[in-house]
Amino acid sequence: ESRAERILQTDGLTKRFGAFTAVDDVDLSIERGEFRSIIGPNGAGKTTLFNLLSGALPVSEGSIRFDGTDITDLSPQKRVHQGLGRSFQILNIFEELTVRENVRLAAQSVHRDDYGFFESLFKPTDRHEPINARTDDVLERIDLASVDEEEAAALDYGGKRRLEIGMVLATDPKVVLFDEPTAGMSIEETEATIDLIEDVLADQTLLLIEHDIELVMDLSDRITVLNQGEVIASGPPDAIAADQAVQDAYLGG
Ligand code: ADP
């Protein structure tokens, strides 16, 4: 087997809040095309780790490399520009805009040329062709092309979730970061969201933060388990399910 390419890597990543260490010397290595889940009981440091990766929080120690460059000190916006896409609890849809306008805004937000908001929405020219093409492509992939001129507010729950994923796809991400995408959902909504992630994001590199170990078992290529800020296990789902330290952490948590 050839050596797979690392797209996202952390080295000794550490976050302290005062004397308390929430993320403790975490080394992660995500390969291109991989579906990686980060799990752990409440208080394990998952949200803090996510915030370090997205740039919402500064690191205390360690570094983050993404697609060949050190992004440890980059702003969240610059990370998105470089292809680190975030979904849920961060990117919200604009209810009063159309479905198409929502996707278009996301596509435009990472486009190299900096068009104004109104120009980009209402005066499309051939200079906007790459944005228009990507918008069309995303609308097809999330299965909302037929309702593209409707207000986002008119979409049902599943439609809004698809639109949110579409807005992440429109930024042309190299890695998609998901923070508990099914938090607060019913069983039906959870299943629909998981199906959607599997369908629409099948060829993407995904890093999913999740509390529920059952949910990620079938989806993940590899699972990394955090407990009290530290990585206690990392490997394929079968190995993680059989790991005694993981079982202890979940029973003890
Ligand atoms: P998880 O997402 O796995 O439930 P968190 O990353 O939210 O865990 O929290 C990990 C630990 O860090 C918890 O003990 C939490 O109380 C603590 N923590 C998180 N954010 C802060 C903060 N801003 N200040 C102090 N402690 C924090």
pLDDT tens for 111-168 read 655 555 555 555 555 556 789 999 999 999 999 999 999 999 999 888 888 898 899 8
How big is the CA angle at 141 (ends 71 and 148), to the nearest 5 degrees?
105
Ligand 1 first shell, C-beta below 6 A: 17, 20, 22, 40, 42-48
pTM: 0.86
Measured from the Cα of 22, ligand 1's closest atom is 12
Q: Which residue has the higher pLDDT, 112 or 108?
A: 108
- Ligand 1 closest atom vs CA 48: 6
Pocket test for ligand 1, best of 16, 38, 47 (most atoms within 8 A of CB): 47
Q: Give, as one character, the DSSP assignment of residue 186.
A: -
* Cα dist from 134 to 139, 176, 192, whole Å: 9, 17, 25
What integer pLDDT is reported at residue 2 of this predicted model? 47
Measured CA to CA, the distance from residue 226 to residue 231 in angstroms comes to 5
**pLDDT above 80 (res 251):** no
State the distance from the centre of ligand 1 to the C-alpha of 15, rounded, in angstroms: 10
- Pairing type for strands 175-179 and 205-210 reads parallel
Helices 99-109 & 157-170 angle (0-180, nearest 10) = 30
Confidence check: pLDDT of 216 > 80? yes
pLDDT class of 91 with cuts at 50, 70, 90: low
Cα–Cα distance for residue pair 200/211, rounded to 1 Å: 22
- Residues of the chain with pLDDT > 90, as a percent, come to 59
- Is this complex scored with an ipTM above 0.95? yes
User: Could you tell me the distance, in angstroms and rounded to a whole number, from the CA of residue 181 to the centre of ligand 1?
Assistant: 19
CA of 44 to the centre of ligand 1 (A): 8
Say how far apart CA 131 and CA 66 lie, in whole Å.
24
pLDDT digits (tens, 9 = 90+) for 46-76: 999 999 999 999 999 999 999 999 999 999 9
Q: How confident is the model at residue 7 (pLDDT cuts 50, 70, 90)?
A: very high
Distance 51 CA to ligand 1 centre (A): 11
Domains of the chain plus CATH, in order, are 1-83+173-253 (3.40.50.300), 93-172 (no CATH)
Backbone dihedral region for residue 230 (phi beyond 0: left; psi -120 to 50: alpha; all else: beta): beta
Pocket-testing residue among 20, 52, 226, 232, ligand 1, by greatest number of atoms within 8 A of Cβ:
20
Whole-number Å distance, alpha carbon 179 to ligand 1 midpoint, is: 14
Structure confidence by residue, pLDDT tens digits, 218-244: 889 999 999 999 999 999 999 999 999
